[in-house]
Amino acid sequence: MNYVWLWTYVAQRKGLYLIALVVLVIMAVSGIGMVGVQKMILDDLLVQRQYDRMFTVLGWLALSMVLYYVSQTLSNILMLSNQLFFQRQLTKCLMNSLHRISAQNYRNSRVADLMHYFNQDAVETAKTISHYIPSGLQKIATMIILLYIVGSESWVIVISAIGLGILYICISKYYGIRLKHAAKEVQESRAKYQVGMEEGISSVRETVAYNRIGWQTDKLNKLFLLYFSKILNEGKLMNKQLFTSEPIKWGVVLLVLGFGGYQVMHGSMSIGMFIITFHFSTQLIYAVHAVYFFVIEISQKMAHVERLRSFTSLDSNSEKGNTLEDPIDSIVFDCIRFKYEEDGQEILSDLKCTVSAGNHVAFVGSSGAGKSTLVQLLLRFVEPDSGEIRINNISLYDLNNSEWMKRIAVVSQEPYLFPESIIFNLKMGEEYSNKVIEEICRLTDIHDYIMSLSDGYETKIGERGITLSGGQRQRISLARALLRNPEVLILDEATSQLDMETERNIMQNIKCARKNKIMIIIAHRLSTVENSDVIFYVADGRIVEQGNHSSLMDLQGEYSGLVLRQHMSAR
pLDDT per position as a tens digit, 29-40: 888 777 767 666
Split at pLDDT 50, 70, 90, the class of 118 is confident
What is d(CA 63, CA 59) in angstroms, rounded to the nearest whole number?
Answer: 6
DSSP string, 363-387: EE-STTSSHHHHHHHHTTSS--SEE
The DSSP code for 52 is G
Provide the phi-psi class of 465: left if phi over 0, else alpha when psi is between -120 and 50, else beta. left
Helix (H) or strand (E) holding 64: helix 54-100
Tell which wins on pLDDT, 568 or 548.
548
User: What percent of the chain clears pLDDT 70, i.e. is strictly above it?
Assistant: 80
pLDDT of residue 85: 92
Lowest mean pLDDT, pick from 100-109, 384-393, 432-441 = 100-109
> Above 70 in pLDDT, residue 383?
yes
Tell which wins on pLDDT, 554 or 54.
554
Lowest mean pLDDT, pick from 99-113, 304-318, 482-496 = 99-113
pLDDT of residue 433: 87
The CA-based angle 86-88-91, given to 5 degrees, is 105
Question: How far apart, in Å, do the first and last CA atoms of the chain sit?
Answer: 67
Question: What are the residue ranges spanned by the domains of the chain?
Answer: 2-312
Paired with 390 in beta bridges are 332, 395
> Above 80 in pLDDT, residue 91?
yes
Q: How many CB atoms lie within 10 A of CB 217?
A: 12
> Above 80 in pLDDT, residue 336?
yes
> Above 70 in pLDDT, residue 240?
yes
Q: How confident is the model over 74-90, as pLDDT tens digits?
A: 989 999 999 999 989 89
The Cα-based distances of 442 to 420, 505, 510, 536 in angstroms read 21, 11, 11, 30
CATH class of 2-312: mainly alpha
Phi/psi for 455 (5° steps) reads -105, 10
> Above 80 in pLDDT, residue 124?
yes
Q: How confident is the model over 247-272, as pLDDT tens digits?
A: 766 666 666 666 666 666 766 655 55
pLDDT of residue 554: 83
Split at pLDDT 50, 70, 90, the class of 371 is confident
pLDDT of residue 471: 84
Question: Is 328 in contact with 404 (CB distance < 8 Å)?
Answer: no
Tell which wins on pLDDT, 111 or 413.
413
User: What percent of the chain clears pLDDT 90, i.e. is strictly above it?
Assistant: 2
Lowest mean pLDDT, pick from 39-43, 115-119, 242-246 = 39-43
pLDDT of residue 74: 92
The answer to whether the Cα torsion of 128, 131, 134, 137 is positive or negative is negative
> Above 80 in pLDDT, residue 328?
yes
pLDDT of residue 330: 86
> Above 60 in pLDDT, residue 14?
yes
What is the mean pLDDT of the segment spanning 200-224? 78
> Above 60 in pLDDT, residue 412?
yes
pLDDT of residue 565: 78
pLDDT of residue 360: 87
The Cα-based distances of 245 to 10, 163, 312 in angstroms read 32, 13, 37
The DSSP code for 399 is B
pLDDT of residue 45: 60
What is d(CA 253, CA 281) in angstroms, rounded to the nearest whole number?
Answer: 8
